[in-house]
Structure 1
Amino acid sequence: MTRRLVITADDLGREPGTTEVIAALLAEGHVTATTLICVSPIAEQAANQVGKLGVVPRLHVTLTSERGIPRWRPLNAATSLVDPDGTLTDDPFTLGARGELHDVLQEADAQLRWMRDRGLVPEAADSHAGTLYGLHGRSWLAGTLEWCARHDLAFRLPRDPVPYVGGPLPPPLAAAHERAVALADALGVPIPRTIATNRRTAQELAGTRNSETTTSAASLLSPKAPASCSCTRPAKTRSQDRTASYEPGRRACYATRLGTTPSKAKTSRSSQAGGPDASGPAASGRLRRRLFRQGSSRAPGGVISASRTIS
């Protein structure tokens, strides 16, 4: 039985510490892909740094700033995306309440153009802080998937969201998710079967030795891995990862690099973000707030996770 794994380190360019860690992980072969924050002032330096390793980052569509570091400015300066000072808000819920689809897509266009103007041709896009998914208010998924189709990009939307959120989605979100998956298929936009993410900090994982990491990765690729953890994304070696395209019928899983500041460290994983009894608008709001709290405050330091995959 063939098992395939893709490990993605998000937030390249967030700030120097994160960028250095991601570059080291790529150089050592511990991760196979990364995503670039184009609105960061060190984005070009970060892209050049991993470019020397033969890695082309994916586009991390970024519509919000991060707490604890200087705020970013959009490349397109769209009115509905910025605060009065012209910077991107650091609160996804604020963006979710005021962002307009045309501004979102124009900013996504500007960020993709920024990459292509520098000779970077990403094969996929995804959403920084989950803002495109509708977890914080307005959903721009339909428009985003149409945008991906126009630009021949895959998009990181899991067919099966349970491993990511830790349980069934509340009915309103589940219905929206089902429509989005159907639209992706209709448009021919490749999406992964599922996503697993790590929410522990570097400090929490500091005691992990290489041998332990290897053992853990091996256990994740156990033949007992559930079929629900498969993806439509083909896995590749680092050298292949730059050129191979998405292929229907091949499967892999994503894992995402996430970290949190020590003062806001979350020991909970995605399995605690929801539950089988979550339902209704109130549960939907609770799930959104939990996902935001678990994934929004990040700090320098590389934290990676592996996820089970099976074909």
Structure 2
Amino acid sequence: MNSLIKIFLVFVILSNIHYAQDQCTFTGTPEKSLSYPLFGSTGTLKVLVILCKFTDDNYDDPPRTNLWPSTRNSMPIWGPSLVSTTIQTDYPDPSISGYFQDMSLNQLHIIGDVKFYQPIHEQAYYFISSGRGLGYLTEEILMGLNSQINFAEYDNWDPKDIDQDGKKNEPDGQVDFIAICFRDANFAGLDGSSYSGIAGITGYRQVFGNGTSQLILDNKVISAKNLLSDLGSGTCQRGILNLHEGLGTICHEFGHYMFGTTHYAGVGFHGLMDGEGTGVMNSFERIRLNWLQAIVVNNTESDVMIPDAISTGLVRRMNIPNSTEYFLIDNH
């Protein structure tokens, strides 16, 4: 048992080393019932990632911004490697594809495309105080890239099972997931609330510039909804300065499509969905997606070996006597 305690203490110390993931304020009870994970925990999901930079974005904080300095008004060199275009046996790390391959033990493949867009106007033009807002900007981004994109390629899942055939891995007429990623953005001005990311491509207001909650491109619906009200078509985030810092925020916001609208309070700074964590999924999250097996420690074991949880998918569970609660101890 002493070995377990020592390992647990090391885990607590290491878990406070932050992966670069800003605070997410998105939380609450959705108005409509959705079955999570929305896309299933196995299979292939094709996503669209859009990197954006305002012309007046002059934020620089070396070395954090060295890989996308404010003087570069185009796709950063590392941009295309955010997500793999095809299914691979071994995705590069760091990347969205590599992250979920590692966490899922190769059960979930996230592939897709990365595009760059520079808004036509300076940021203040899109502020709510100017009569526009994030939805107006999002519509401009999507329409501006429309000639480069076939949005029908990103409809491969039916999260709500609208045809009631028991299958989620089939098209439903709505684009599955778009991640709109700003190098830097003032969401307080754009959306009336400060946050690093939100599980909705138009923020809290949930409408495009045309005043509706839908765009139809390539005969596919792109939804402005966020998960607090209904199924949307992606996420919006800021602070995507490089692969390491951007990945934590993007994966966390995608995590709302896997786990729902709440954060896991009480797990400290360890996990994807606590809102300000290390970025590495904890064992509780991976168990919920059937990506990990918990083996109960029994009273007869005196020396317990705990393998690396990321690569083996194994953790140990310590039940609390006369209680439904327990400890999960993972080593990574």
Richer in strand (by share): 2
Richer in helix (by share): 1
Question: Which of these two proteins has the greater Rg computed from alpha carbons?
Answer: 2
- Fold conserved between structures, TM > 0.5: no
Q: TM-score, normalised by structure 2?
A: 0.29
